[in-house]
A and B are shown apart, each in its own frame.
Chain A
Amino acid sequence: MSETWIILGATSSMARAFARKCARKGDALLLLGRDMPELKRIAKDCSLRGAAQAEAVAFDARKPEEFSAIISEAAEGRQLNAAVFIGSMPPQDELDRDPSLLDGVIQDNFTGPARFLQLLAPHMETQGSGTIIGIGSVAGDRGRVGNYVYGAAKAGFHTYLSGLRNRLGRHGVQVITVKPGFVDTTMTWGIEGMFLVASPEAVADSLIKAVKKRRNVVYTPWFWRYIMLIIRHIPEFIFKKMSI
């Protein structure tokens, strides 16, 4: 059956791959983001690929005052699902030089999406069904010297999603926390030290599967669960000397 997906941060590489998979299934798509001309191009692409409907909607994670209006319009006569792909990852050394950048990172990766989902939650409760996908990161599993502000924001988002799952689960709404490893996106392009890099298409496939199987926490690709299991269990007195 055709579903409706609100996709936040729809211009990101992963979101675009996910939107296309949904389009091929004939789903309806509301594509949210800042770059309207680009969103419109993606919307057109998705409708040519089979989406029942594909609409570009202006959205900025740093303008929470606009969220309510977006949500009420989206929820009008629709059974909703949501997938949150927004996030930003400035290099850690830039953040170290200019601490004022920190608030933006927290807003893009955590408080922005959390505020949006917080406003969406009552609709989902009333609806009594549907799925929310939140894209976190393996970086949120442990703070590392290379990107601990981004990691901290993602960790906050993970905890938020866990609570939201607890809240909405009892109303029949599935909340899925997704923790991708390295994915071949604009964000990671050209960064040194990447390994086991997954394609956005592979990640999108695992999202579709996670929705079908009503999973709670998904690492993608799957082996990151075990890599992170090890990394989480390194004693702090050793970990603090490592730079991985």
Chain B
Amino acid sequence: MRWKNEELSGWGSALSRATMLARPERLAALTDTLKETPCPAIGMRRSYGDAPLAPKALDMTRLDRFISFDEETGLLEAEAGVTLGDILDTFAPKGWMPAVLPGTGFATLGGAIAYDVHGKNHQIAGSFGQHVESLVLIDAKGDSQQISAQSAPELFRATIGGMGQTGVIYSARLQLAPCPAGKMLVRERRMENLDTFIEAFNASDVDYQVGWLDMTAGGVNLGRGIFEEAHFLSGIFKPAGKARSVPFNLPGFAMSRPVVKAFNWAYLRRVPEGGRGVDCGLRSFFFPLDNIQHWNRLYGKRGFHQFQCVLPLENSPATLGEILEAVVASGLASPLSVLKRLGAGRAGMMSFPMEGFTLAVDIVNKPGAKALLEKLNTLADEAGGRVYLAKDSSLEADYIENMYTELEEFRTVVAKADPDGAFLTDLVKRLKIRGTT
């Protein structure tokens, strides 16, 4: 296998490193490469921080075949490099779709399992890993085994949300959910402040819910934004069309405070005061930003961090308020700030979700970003919440044990599955997720 030298970064591009990449296109090439040079697998690099970074890595994106599909039951088996958008495009016209879809269709099946991702319907559908029936895992010796919750419960629970530490996920069987229609009706309402927002979430019984926050508004307007509730409507599914692209890194002022403020002002007023209903294709509802390729370039060369935490229900209102205040005061927020309600569903030892509210904020990588992130990490920790490792670029190792309560079990399983540490990534090393060794 030939290796390619590449400067690799996560989606936030604030962290990067020189990497040697192999890109097997066949199963045989994958196992051969692993035997010779065991190293972690990466997908489409849609994690934000250093989750996809390692000195050597296997690019899985060409292992993207569908292996089998049962039209009766909706059970799909596919290679790990298949993207979730590809699954949606191919199977929605047949009436099936992934039960859980994150905010981008570019995420791979393997990545969605390795970070046990969630969607806008977490309260009813749970996390991605909860729909995985079984998967094929290849260890550092190149030996593969099919595992499921029944056949290897510990290893299975360590692999889902396991950041690739138990081995390379070659393929998985995913239970798809019925896709009732190709369109959705999205009801949008303006929210005046954080309290009304939280009330609206609590009162809503619609399957899909998401909130957009104006992170430039402080004082009485703190936490204002737009609340979106969506359900399926009749209509045919349209696959991905031609996407527009941000051709190069934008200059620094593109995300400066006045620009963001003006954008948010206009974005909020898109929705009339009385609210409105909008017809929306599945793709534009689930993957709103996928139509703009390389949108991360909007942040310029210095990149950005994404902070995402989940807070337990009882502490959510107070801590969310503190977090919003800190972000607004810093002036470092971008227009991309999202609030969601999560349920308790999680499939792995290191899964992110817990019953409560989750907030995601993009923070421009400027001086002051680090101090702000530290503050936010502390607030999340003190509230008994956790920071999402697929997004993280700033957490300190000390927080991990507190935030991830099954860490010890995870360490035990991983130490057995990968005794030589072949699958370590920069994220796992930085946060000492596998212990001090």
Footprint of B on A, CB under 8 Å?
A: 11, 13, 16, 35, 37-38, 41-42, 44-45, 48-50, 186, 189-191
Contacts and interface: CB of A to CB of B under 8 A. Distances in A.
A39 to B, nearest CB: 10
B2 A189 contact: yes
Nearest to B6: A190
B23 A49 contact: no
Sorted nearest first, the 3 A-B pairs with minimum C-beta distance are A190-B4, A45-B65, A190-B2
B66 interface: yes
Given A189-B2, A190-B3, 5 more contacts: A11-B26, A38-B26, A38-B27, A45-B65, A48-B68
B4 A44 contact: no
B17 interface: no
B90 A186 contact: no
Nearest to A41: B65
B203 interface: no
A49 B26 contact: no
Q: Which of B3, B27, B62, B65 has the most CB of A within 10 A?
A: B65
Contacts of A37: 27-28
A234 to B, nearest CB: 30
Interface residues of chain B: helix, strand, loop or mixed (majority) = mixed
Given A35-B26, A38-B26, A48 B90 contact: yes
A41 B27 contact: yes
Given A13-B62, A190-B4, A191-B2, A48 B69 contact: yes
Interface string B49-83: 00000000000001001111100000000000000
A45 B68 CA distance: 8
A42 B27 CA distance: 12
Contacts of B69: 48
Contact of A186 (B5, B25, B27, B67): B25
Interface in B94-109: none
A16 to B, nearest CB: 8
Interface residues of B, number: 17
Contacts of A41: 27, 65, 67
Contacts of B2: 189-191
B20 to A, nearest CB: 9
30 contacts: A11-B25, A11-B26, A13-B25, A13-B62, A16-B25, A35-B26, A35-B28, A37-B27, A38-B26, A38-B27, A38-B28, A41-B65, A41-B67, A42-B65, A44-B65, A44-B67, A45-B65, A45-B66, A45-B67, A48-B68, A48-B90, A49-B66, A49-B90, A50-B90, A189-B4, A189-B23, A190-B2, A190-B4, A190-B21, A191-B2
Given A189-B23, A190-B3, A191-B2, A44 B66 contact: yes
A87 to B, nearest CB: 15
A28 to B, nearest CB: 18
Nearest to A23: B90
Contacts of A11: 25-26
Contacts of B66: 44-45, 48-49
Interface string B141-179: 000000000000000000000000000000000000000
Contacts of B25: 11, 13, 16, 186
